[in-house]
Amino acid sequence: MELFNFFRSGTSHRLRIALNLKGLAYDYRAIDLPRDEHLSAEYKRLNPQGLVPALVHDGKVLIQTPAILEWLEERHPTPSLLPEQPEERARVRALASIVGCDIHPLNNRRVLELLRKKMKCDESTVNEWCETWIAAGFDALEALLQTDSKRGEFCFGGTPTLADVYLIPQVESARRFKVDIGRWPAIQAVDAACSRIEAFRAAAPSQQPDAR
Ligand SMILES: N[C@@H](CCC(=O)N[C@@H](CS)C(=O)NCC(=O)O)C(=O)O
C-alpha cells in the first residue's frame, strides 16, 4: 500500500493511526501542502479533489478518509475499530463525525487560506475562527464522554475505536492553534491514554519522514 499524505494533515494523521492499529505496513509518499503539491496535475490524477490523503492498494486509488476507514474495517476487521452492537457503532461514528464533519472541514487549510487571502483576515482572527469551531465540537464531545457511565480509557469502552482515530489528530491541531486542551478533561484523558499506545505515537506528525 502507498499512502500519499502530509505529516501535519489531520486526515492523513487519522489514517496513519488506523493503519498502525491494524498492523498494516505502507509506503510513505509525502505530498507537500505548503508547496501546493496536492494541486499538481500529477497528484490530481490520483485525487481530482486535490486533497490528502490518498491510499493506493493493488493499483486502486482510495480517497476520503471516512470511506477509506470503512474499507479498512471491512478488509481488515481485526482488531476492530467499531464495537459490536449497531447502536454502539452509531455512537462511535457520531463521536467521530463531530470531528470529521463539524470541526475539521471548517479549519482546513484551503478555508484558512481563503480567510487570509480573500477575506483579508489577520492571524488573530484566523485563530479565533479555528478556536470557535474546535471549542464548539469539543464542548459537545466532552459532554458525551462525561455522561457515558460505561466509558473506559478511550472515547468508547476500553480499546481504541474510530472515535479516538478522529479525535487525536484534532487535539494535535488544537494544540497547534494554541487552544488550551485543559478545558476538556475527558478529552485530555483520552489523549493521554492514546499517547501510551505505540500505534498512536508512531502516527504523530513529528514522527513522519517529511516532518519539519
Ligand atoms: N473529507 C476529506 C478531507 C481531506 C482534507 O481536507 N485534507 C486536507 C488535509 S487535512 C487537505 O488536503 N487540504 C488541502 C487544502 O486545504 O488545500 C477526507 O476526509 O479525506
pLDDT, tens digit, 9 for 90 and up, residues 71-112: 999 999 999 999 999 999 999 999 999 999 999 999 999 999
Q: How confident is the model at residue 150 (pLDDT cuts 50, 70, 90)?
A: confident
Is residue 51 lining ligand 1, measured as CB closer than 6 Å? Answer: yes
Sign of the dihedral through C-alpha 206, 126, 162, 6: negative
| pTM score, whole prediction | 0.98
Give the neighbor-by-neighbor strand order of the sheet with 2-5: 27-30, 2-5, 54-57, 60-63
Pick the CATH number of 2-79 from 3.30.110.30, 3.40.30.10, 3.40.50.300, 3.40.50.970: 3.40.30.10
Pick the CATH number of 86-200 from 2.60.40.10, 1.20.1050.10, 3.90.110.10, 1.50.10.10: 1.20.1050.10
Q: Residues 30-48: what's their mean pLDDT?
A: 98
Contact 156, 95 (CB under 8 A): yes
* pLDDT tens, position by position, 55-69: 999 999 999 999 999
Is residue 97 lining ligand 1, measured as CB closer than 6 Å? Answer: no
The number of residues in the chain equals 212
Q: Which residue has the cell 474546535?
A: 134
Task: Determine the atom of ligand 1 nearest the C-alpha atom of 110.
Answer: 16
Contact 149, 159 (CB under 8 A): no
Is residue 10 lining ligand 1, measured as CB closer than 6 Å? Answer: yes
Hey, do 2-79 and 86-200 end up sharing a CATH topology, with the first three levels equal?
no
3-class SS string, 165-181: HHHHHHHHHHHHCCCCH
Is residue 38 lining ligand 1, measured as CB closer than 6 Å? Answer: yes
CA-closest residue to ligand 1 atom 17: 110
Is residue 46 lining ligand 1, measured as CB closer than 6 Å? Answer: no
Is residue 52 lining ligand 1, measured as CB closer than 6 Å? Answer: yes
- Domain spans in the chain, listed from the N-terminal domain onward: 2-79, 86-200
